[in-house]
Each structure stands twice: as C-alpha cells, then as structure tokens.
Amino acid sequence: MTAHSNIYPTKALQEIDAAHHWHPFSDMKSLNAEGSRIITRADGVWLTDSEGRRILDGMAGLWCVQVGHGRTEITEAVQRQMNELAYYNTFFKTTHPPAIALSEKLAKLAPDHINTVFYCSSGSEANDTVFRMVRTYWDKMGKPDKKVIIGRWNGYHGSTLAGTSLGGMKAMHAQGDLPVEGVHHIDQPYWFGEGQDMSRDDFGVHAARKLERAIDQLGEDKVAAFIAEPIQGAGGVIIPPESYWPEVRRILRERDILLVADEVICGFGRLGEWFGSTHFEIEPDLMPIAKGLTSGYLPMGGVLVSDRVAEGLMNAGDDFNHGYTYSGHPVCAAAALANLDIIEREGLVGRVKTDIGPYLQERWRRLEEHPLVGEARMTGLMGALELVPDKKDLKKAFPDVGTVGTICRDISFQNGMVMRAVRDSMIISPPLVLTHEEADFLVETAEKTLDDTYQRLKKDGWLG
Ligand code: PXG
C-alpha cells in the first residue's frame, strides 16, 4: 500500500497497523484488539478519519498545530526549500540561509536577554541538550561540582534518557532504571490535586519553598539548575497559583542557579505571549522549544540560550561537543519561518490574549457547574476539567485512576472532538486559529460529553 491509501477499508488499515506498528506510550495488546483510530486528512481545526467523520482537533495534534492544519503557506515554503537545498549540515564551519534567518527571527521574538539558539529535532533532544549545556556551563565557570538538576514530580520533559530523567513521571522512570544520577525531584504546584487544605496563594508559596528546601539540603554549590514547564502540559495542565513563579524567581535569584523554562508546549502563543515565560515573568536562562515552532508540520526543536550562558559556553575557547545531523535542518527551518510568519501576520499571539483566549476561557470555566466537574481551569488556550465522583467532596477521586478519564475521552471522540485524558481530568489545547463558532462547538461538545459520561458512570455504578 502507499502512504495515501485511504481507499482501503478502515478494518484493513487497522489490521496492517496492528501487525507492524508499535505506537508510543501504548498497551499494544489491548490497542490491537480494539483497533486504532485512523486520521486521513486535516484542515483548519478539523480532522477527518478513515470513516469520513469530521472531528474537532481540541489538542492541536499533540499541543503543537498553532496555525491549524493544511496551511499551504508552510507546505509551499517547504517545497521551495526542498528544491533549493533539501539538506546540508551546520557542522564544520558551515551554515545556510534558512538556519541563519530562523536564528535571527527567534532572537527577535525571544526575551531581550536571549539571542542565541542551538537546534535539534524535538523537545526531548532539546532537553538532552539542556542537560549537557547546564553541566558544561558550570564546568567552564570553574564550578564543576554544580551538577544536580532539580525537576518536578509529574513534570514532562520528553522520553529520551535526559528527558525522562528530568521529568517526574514515575511510570516512565520505572522503565529503564531512571532517573540518571544527579537529578532531584520536588513536588509540583498542583493545587486541586495536592493543595486544597490551603488557599491557592499559600499553596503556591509552599510549593515554591520545596525548591528552596531542596537546594539548601543538596547545597547551593552542588545544584546546577531548576527545570520546569511554565504550565505543566502532559502532567494535566497544572496552572500554578499566581504566587508560585515570583517565589521561585526569588529563591533562584538569591542563589547562583540556572533556571530552565521548558517552553515546548507553552511557547509560540499558547498562553497569549510568544513564550510562557513572558506570561509568568520568569526570565529563564535556557528555554527548550519544539512543537509550535513549526506547528508540527516538520520536526524541529531547539534551545534558546541567554547571553549569560551563551557567553560562558561559547567564549570558553573550545568546542561544545554536541549536535545532531539535523541541527538547523534547512527544510524544517523553512517550515518554522513560514509558520512564525503566519503567527505574526494573523496576530495569533495577541488573539489568544485578548480575543479567542478570554472567549473560550469564560465558556470553559462555566463547565465547572456540571455535576461531574470539580474544577474547570484555563490559561491562554490550555485548559483542564477535573472529573470528580462527588462535588461535595472535591478531594475525593474516582477509584482506579484513569479509567473514568479514558471513558470520557472515548465518548468525546464519538461526539466529534479530541479531548485528551490525563488521569481523570480532561485536557484541551486547540489550534490558535480556533474561531468563535468553533469555540462554541468545542464547549457544547465538551458539555454533551460530560452528560454522556455522567449517564454512563451512573449506569455502571461509579457514582453510588
Ligand atoms: N517538553 C515538554 C514540556 C513537552 O510537553 C517534550 C518536552 C518532548 O518533546 P518531544 O518533541 O520529544 O515529544 C514535550 C512533549 C501528551 C504528550 O500525551 C506530550 C508531549 C509529547 C507526547 C505526548 O500530552 N510533550
């Protein structure tokens, strides 16, 4: 068969897929018994599956398709670049115009103290790059004992060795005997899940002070960096209380420790600023990026490097022995430039801040009135619904965590919308081009999905 073979019946495609394709993060035995969903086309915020059904892409692919699907401005830029220079490397004293132009562009978009980019092909590679950069930086600064990187439980930084280690997903650590040495985890600022005994602001400070305590226990002279997502994505859209980031900044400012803001999801307009760091006024030393950089049209990632770290590493007088065959890939860089051009031309960042963001947030938050929803939260275009069995006791969770979330996710798909489930919360992160009508459809479908899920749970005895 060919890549365009949507002439085959769904069942035939599912059988071939089941026979040969190992999916990421999947229990393949049960997936193959059920059969995968097959997406064949996409346009704007709409996916089409192999049965010809249209489904609203509430997750922008996998948190990445900022400009929507099917944008010919990007595909044409890619084709032009393919014909001109499909590949050349950026090693051995060489570069090329797409990498040069993209670097200049990113330096302009990034906060003022960030003017340098190191390229790779994914968010995971970006965090592997961060891992080596941070440690090498302190070596060059004459502080080779500063090696420990502090991450957070339930943070996500990718699935390579460094990405998994820096992240705080216990199920991932269990496979491959991770984390690697020299990584320490602190608690996350997850008020709904872990902080309801305190006010949000008290809990934000409390969670930040875990960082202070960890640094003081490990020793400032041993700690190289703290890494965190401005808002945790894969962990369940954990929006920190407003008191959290200012306190983290105070703690790090008082100590000589680098701050890495993982912008892989929050970057490129998701929170109504070019970077999530700007939304929270984080001022990081390093910013890993990927996803929205190309809107997912081609794989590309990078690390945006502050002047302080760039000068420390680049003026050290020897090589940083790190890089990838596809670092700065010309076609991916052309896709990124075309994508950033659309984001700028259509004012998508400002649109999230002042138009579609507030519009969707207001409607989304109203879902908190539903009997299944304990909390409805959203910042920018990144939201979550916490499903609970009893609204009178918000600390009570469903048994067998994750089962109810999966039931709700499947019902959402049947109702014509992709929502992702994390534990028993439902997540959305739609393309930034979502129209008001599409936002209405999104919320109406979420509401219908909650109703259908409620009926199912009642029928199956989940609600007592
Ligand atoms: N950092 C963050 C904050 C991410 O969200 C990565 C790094 C790794 O990027 P790559 O390109 O290597 O995947 C991510 C990726 C999910 C899901 O189910 C989330 C991600 C990837 C796959 C699934 O929510 N985020």
CB 53 within 8 A of CB 47: no
Measured distance CA(462)–CA(454) in Å, rounded: 9
Q: Convert the pLDDT of each residue in 257-301 to its tens digit.
A: 999 999 999 999 999 999 999 999 999 999 999 999 999 999 999
Cβ within 8 Å of residue 77, ≥6 positions away? 334, 335, 337, 338
Q: Token pair of 293, please?
A: 């950089």
* Most ligand 1 atoms within 8 A of CB, residue of 165, 232, 291, 429 to mutate: 291
Strand 54-56 relative to strand 114-120, pairing: unpaired
25, 57, 59, 63: residue to mutate for ligand 1 pocket, most atoms within 8 A of CB: 63
* Rounded Cα–Cα distance for residues 239 and 236 (Å): 9
In this predicted structure, the answer to whether residue 5 has a pLDDT above a threshold of 70 is: no
Residue 8 has pLDDT above 90, yes or no: no
pLDDT tens across 144-158, in order? Answer: 999 999 999 999 999
d(CA 291, CA 284): 19
Burial status of residue 400 (CB atoms within 10 A of its CB: 0-12, 13-18, 19 or more): exposed
Q: Measure the CA–CA gap between 67 and 430, rounded to whole angstroms.
A: 10
Rounded mean pLDDT of 429-436? 98
Q: Does residue 152's CB lie within 6 angstroms of at least one atom of ligand 1?
A: no
Domains, the chain, in order of start with CATH, read: 37-67+349-459 (3.90.1150.10), 73-345 (3.40.640.10)
CA-nearest residue, atom 18 of ligand 1: 234
The CA distance from 35 to 15, in Å, is 8
Give the per-residue pLDDT at 295: 98
Cα 2 to averaged position of ligand 1 atoms, centre (Å):
29
Q: How far apart are CA 147 and CA 305, in angstroms?
A: 18
Centroid of ligand 1 to alpha carbon of 63 (angstroms): 8
pLDDT tens across 55-99, in order? 999 999 999 999 999 999 999 999 999 999 999 999 999 999 999
- Ligand 1 centre distance from Cα of residue 129 (Å): 15
Q: Which of 156, 227, 289 to mutate to test the pocket of ligand 1 (most atoms within 8 A of CB)?
A: 156
424 has a pLDDT exceeding 80? yes
- Centroid of ligand 1 to alpha carbon of 234 (angstroms): 7
Residue with CA at minimum distance from ligand 1 atom 16:
234
Q: What is the amino acid identity at position 46?
A: W
pLDDT score recorded for residue 315: 86
Q: Which atom of ligand 1 is nearest to the CA of 232?
A: 3
Q: What integer best gives the mean pLDDT of the chain? A: 97
Report pLDDT for 2. Answer: 74
Query: What type of residue sits at position 229?
Result: E
Q: Vertex 122, ends 116 and 125: CA angle to 5°?
A: 75
> DSSP characters for 180-245?
PTTEEEE----HHHH-TTS-HHHHHHHHHHHHHHHHHHH-GGGEEEEEE-SSBSTTT-B---TTHH
Per-residue pLDDT tens digits for 339-375: 999 999 999 999 999 999 999 999 999 999 999 999 9
Distance in angstroms (rounded) separating the CA atoms of residues 458 and 323: 54
Distance CA 123, CA 102 (A): 17
Residue 394 to residue 406: CA distance in whole angstroms: 20
Residue 316 CA, distance from chain mean position: 33
136 close to ligand 1 (CB < 6 Angstrom): no
Ligand 1 lined by 38 (C-beta under 6 Å): no
Task: Report d(CA 411, CA 117) in Å as an integer.
Answer: 42
What's the rounded mean pLDDT across residues 15-26?
96
Laid out side by side, the sheet with 39-43 consists of 39-43, 46-49, 54-56
Give the position, in ligand 1's atom list, of the atom nearest the Cα of 122. 11
Question: What are the phi and psi torsion angles at 229 (to 5°)?
Answer: -80, 140
β-strand partners of 42: 47
Q: How confident is the model at residue 20 (pLDDT cuts 50, 70, 90)?
A: very high
Residue pair 232/155 in contact (Cβ under 8 Å)? The answer is: yes
pLDDT at 317 over 90: no
CB 184 within 8 A of CB 219: no
- pLDDT, residue 7, reads 77
Place of tokens 């894969």: 234
